[in-house]
Amino acid sequence: MSAHEPARERVRGIAMSGLKADLYRVLKYAALIAWAIFVVAPFLWALSTSFKSDPGVVGGATYIPFLEYEPTVDGWTALFRDTSSGGISMQGPYLSSLVVSLISTSIALFLGTLAAYGLSRFTFRAGPLGNNDITFFFISQRIMPPAVLAIPYFLLLRFTGLLDTHLGLILVYVAMLLPIVVWVMVDFFNTVPIELDEAALIDGCNPIQAFYRIILPNCAPGMVVATLLCIIFSWSDFFFALTLTFAKVQLLPPTIVILNSNKVPWWSLSASALVSVLPLVIIAFVLERYLARGTLAGVIRE
Amino acid sequence: MAEVVVSGVFKRFGPVAALEEIDLTVHDNEFVVLVGPSGSGKSTLLRIIAGLERQSEGSVAIDGRDMAGIAPKDRDVAMVFQSHALYPHMNVFDNLAFNQRIRGVDRKTVDRKVREVAERLEITELLRRRPRQMSGGQRQRVAIGRALVRDPRIFLFDEPLSNLDAELRVRLRTVIKRLHQEMRRTSVYVTHDQVEAMTLADRVVVLRDGRIEQIGAPDDLYERPVNGFVAGFIGSPAMNFLQGTAAEGVVRIGETETGAAGAASGAVIVGIRPEDLLPDGAADRGRLRALVTLVEPMGADTLVFCTTDEGQELTVRLPRYTAVHEGETLALGPREGAVHLFDPETGQRLN
């Protein structure tokens, strides 16, 4: 009897700790669910609103279609209708935004990655200035708030005749994105030991091959982070799109915001907001596993 | 055929000279070890031969061809790094195959070569693994394999065993030595470990502060070091250095006298290797009296640490069956002809 006592004691101990673990898990999921609601609810509300018409909006808050209001797809079809027939004609700005953000992201990634590799691997000297100063120079461009930059950029683009063009906006975005890419990538390249470059050079690579066959693959998570940051910035930028383009070129964020002007079409506004978030959601899902692997598992820690 | 001729090489980093006037010829099929304490410039010299670094002055020629302006990939050298430097995003097979693929060798040949080398190094079962899934010793084996697949004119080793534990180091040292015996390829090997240098080298180059102190076969270096630095650096435990005076072919260390060839006179540094101090008979005059302070049985032999009557420290290597205890006094005499004399000022050999 007494011989069984300790065993029973132990079993109870396990049960106790199991209970504790359960409680912990419950609390954990409760917190996660609360956060998820906080994050997702606005989207659901927007989704619900996008199917409403006037009565569904002005008569106080309503949420559930068919029960609380009569759903209509007018908010969605308006996105593609001509302005003359009361629509927003979103395709144009949508395409413009896609083109501008994809091109500027690609250019910034290409140039920024090369610049970062150079800064990570070679020593540059210009009088008293060295690599760290150059890196800081890149980052320092992001110290100034966009409001300060807007007027100089405006004048610059007007002077070069690039105001209200895709190219002008792309150039401005590249200037804004480069520091991010350089900053992120210098850090990643610095974690890759230089012996890898040297081994590749001796193995038969020229410096460019060593870069893209050996070093770049080992910095893939960094590329993913940089890409994500670039696309988020260039896709959702409102300020420069508003100040540097107006007639010929129209980007998505200003187009959506302008809907707010006189009589607000809440349904179309909601629909367009959802549509404009869509690319980022897709990218987030695609890149998620790389991100998790990069930041949590360590890149090449051995 | 692969001969490396380094002539008049200087390397400066700003005002700091890492290498000063290096002249060295590595003969065909020779295994040359560059050895020296850290900061002696041995790795820099290797990297200059590899083409990873450019000398400030002087030239490097491989098989009579000046290497100035020739990229590392075109020098037909393979290198094994201290940090193994395997490509983390490739498995072992791809790591071994990479240098062949990038040189455009066809798939069948690459496959055959990689498997041959893997077999030879007993890493066949690792071919599908990533570098991070292997132990340090396995990684370094693969790194050696990567060099072997190349079948280069010259092998370069940059402290390949320094990151491994003692047992593995000895085992891989044997692997490297055996490979060299079979393949007879010109090799330059950098290490700070004089045991590695002695065991592997056909010839050893001792470097200090960017200068070559001595070049010679391991035995030459051991038996006739040209100066106090080489004498102290080569050999483990290190040579004993005692203060003495020389006059008319006789060297006095305290009360002790010993005959030593050479025309040295005045104050000298007397170098005696631990195994050249013999405990002969009783502690009579004419012998070095030393109090035993510590005994380290090593198995094959026993190291005895003592202090002489004059307060100088001595290490003595005795056969294992010698019974010696702390607190005893030994009467030691140097083995005939095994006394090295050095100038106390310049450190140069005197006899």
A48-62, B29-43, B148-162, B320-334: which range is least confident on average?
A48-62
Q: How confident is the model at residue A79 (pLDDT cuts 50, 70, 90)?
A: confident
- At residue A10, the pLDDT reads 59
CATH number of the domain to which B22 belongs: 3.40.50.300
- At residue A176, the pLDDT reads 92
B72–A202 C-beta distance less than 8 A = yes
Q: What residue in A sits closest to B156 (Cα-Cα)? A: A202
Together in a domain, B196 and B282 = no
Together in a domain, B255 and B189 = no
| Diameter over CA atoms, chain A | 96
Choose the mutation target among B47, B52, B75 for the interface with A, i.e. most A CBs under 10 Å: B52
Within-domain flag for B351: no
- At residue A14, the pLDDT reads 59
A199/B contact by beta carbon, under 8 A: yes
Measured in angstroms, the CA of A231 and the nearest CA of chain B are apart by: 26
Choose the mutation target among B98, B144, B149, B163 for the interface with A, i.e. most A CBs under 10 Å: B98
For chain B, what is the domain count? 2
Together in a domain, B191 and B332 = no
For residue A1, pLDDT over 60 is answered with no
Hunting for tokens 């005692």 — which residue is that? B242
Q: How confident is the model at residue A70 (pLDDT cuts 50, 70, 90)?
A: confident
- At residue B216, the pLDDT reads 95
| ipTM score assigned to the predicted complex | 0.87
CATH number of the domain to which B273 belongs: 2.40.50.140
Q: What is the pLDDT of residues B218-256, one digit of tens each?
A: 999 999 999 999 999 998 899 999 988 888 777 888 777
Within-domain flag for B255: yes
For residue A296, pLDDT over 60 is answered with no
Domain range for B102 is 4-230
Boundary residue ending a domain (B165, B199, B230): B230
For residue B346, pLDDT over 50 is answered with yes
| Diameter over CA atoms, chain B | 77
Together in a domain, B154 and B38 = yes
For range A54-66, the mean pLDDT: 75
For range A17-40, the mean pLDDT: 91
Within-domain flag for B275: yes
- At residue B251, the pLDDT reads 82
* Nearest by Cα to A236 from A223, A221, A222, A255: A255
Measured in angstroms, the CA of B346 and the nearest CA of chain A are apart by: 39
**% pLDDT > 70, chain A:** 89
For residue A11, pLDDT over 70 is answered with no
Nearest beta carbon to residue B81 from set A199, A301, A302? A199
For range A18-40, the mean pLDDT: 92
- Extract the tokens encoding A184: 């992120």
Together in a domain, B65 and B174 = yes
Boundary residue ending a domain (B230, B246, B275): B230
Chain-centroid distance of CA B103 in Å reads 33
For residue A222, pLDDT over 90 is answered with no
For residue A59, pLDDT over 80 is answered with no
Q: How confident is the model at residue A262 (pLDDT cuts 50, 70, 90)?
A: low
- At residue A128, the pLDDT reads 86
**% pLDDT > 90, chain B:** 71
Together in a domain, B226 and B261 = no
* Amino acid (1-letter code) at residue A209: Q
Q: What is the pLDDT of residues B20-59, one digit of tens each?
A: 999 999 999 999 999 999 989 999 999 999 999 999 999 9
**% pLDDT > 90, chain A:** 36
Within-domain flag for B110: yes
- Extract the tokens encoding B48: 């200059």
- At residue B188, the pLDDT reads 97
For range B64-78, the mean pLDDT: 94
- At residue A130, the pLDDT reads 86
Together in a domain, B191 and B267 = no
For residue A4, pLDDT over 60 is answered with no
Together in a domain, B26 and B134 = yes
Measured in angstroms, the CA of B267 and the nearest CA of chain A are apart by: 49
For residue B5, pLDDT over 80 is answered with yes
A64/B contact by beta carbon, under 8 A: no
For residue A122, pLDDT over 50 is answered with yes
Tell me if the bond preceding B237 is cis, omega within 30° of 0.
Answer: yes
Cβ-based contacts of B71 with chain A (< 8 Å) = 201, 206
The edge-to-edge listing of strands for the beta sheet with B211-216 is B77-80, B154-158, B186-191, B31-35, B203-208, B211-216
Within-domain flag for B347: no
Within-domain flag for B350: no
Within-domain flag for B348: no
Q: How confident is the model at residue A269 (pLDDT cuts 50, 70, 90)?
A: confident
| Of residues B328 and A12, more confidently modeled | B328
Together in a domain, B34 and B108 = yes
Nearest beta carbon to residue A199 from set B51, B85, B132? B85
Together in a domain, B128 and B264 = no
Average pLDDT, chain A: 84
Q: Residue A302 belongs to what H/E stretch?
A: none
Average pLDDT, chain B: 90
Together in a domain, B211 and B245 = no
A14-28, A203-217, B174-188: which range is least confident on average?
A14-28
- At residue A3, the pLDDT reads 46
Q: What is the pLDDT of residues A246-255, one digit of tens each?
A: 888 888 888 8
Boundary residue ending a domain (B192, B207, B230): B230
Together in a domain, B198 and B247 = no
A204–B103 C-beta distance less than 8 A = yes
Q: What residue in B sits closest to A216 (Cα-Cα)? A: B89
Within-domain flag for B331: yes
Q: What is the pLDDT of residues B97-149, one digit of tens each?
A: 999 999 999 999 999 999 999 999 999 999 999 999 999 999 999 999 999 99
For residue A108, pLDDT over 80 is answered with yes
Q: What is the pTM of this model?
A: 0.82
Choose the mutation target among B89, B103, B129, B190 for the interface with A, i.e. most A CBs under 10 Å: B89
